[in-house]
């Protein structure tokens, strides 16, 4: 799986090229490492926000309002940071379709 991020710091921390000094970032870092354990192969790539139109639109969405969203864009407002959500569910429990090999 290819994982792209627009934060050079975070990508380098996940690659273990940089250390994690911030206590808040350490919680996210730990969560991210936990989520990577189920994958056979992962590649983390830094991509500047200026070169990633989709991420740029999402970042603009975060600082604007939720009106006039394009079809297929769903926004979830979380009550707490993702690293505090300890419930991790399997991607596929019973489905047997094109997603099964990816989930395995």
Could you give the number of structural domains in the chain? 1
Residue 45 located in a structural domain? yes
**Containing domain of residue 96, as a range?**
2-65+75-103
Residue 68's pLDDT band (boundaries 50, 70, 90)?
Answer: low
The percent of residues above 90 in pLDDT, for the chain, comes to: 6
pLDDT at 87 (0 to 100): 58
The pLDDT of residue 44 is 92
Any domain includes 70 = no
What CA dihedral angle connects 53, 74, 84 and 79, to 10 degrees?
120
How is residue 9 written in tokens?
Answer: 């710091």
CA-CA distance, 45 to 42, in Å (whole number)? 10
Phi, psi of 8 (to 5 degrees): -60, -40
Q: Which two tokens stand for residue 84?
A: 């505090």
């Amino acid at each position: 799986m290819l994982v792209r991020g627009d934060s050079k710091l975070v990508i380098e921390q996940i690659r273990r090229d940089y250390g994690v000094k911030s206590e808040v970032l350490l919680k996210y870092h730990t969560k991210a490492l936990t989520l990577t354990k189920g994958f056979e192969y992962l590649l983390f790539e830094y991509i500047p926000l200026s070169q990633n139109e989709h991420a740029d639109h999402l970042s603009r969405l975060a600082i604007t309002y939720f009106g006039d969203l394009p079809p297929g864009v769903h926004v979830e407002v979380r009550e707490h940071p993702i690293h505090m959500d300890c419930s991790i569910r399997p991607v596929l429990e019973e489905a047997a379709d094109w997603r099964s090999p990816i989930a395995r």
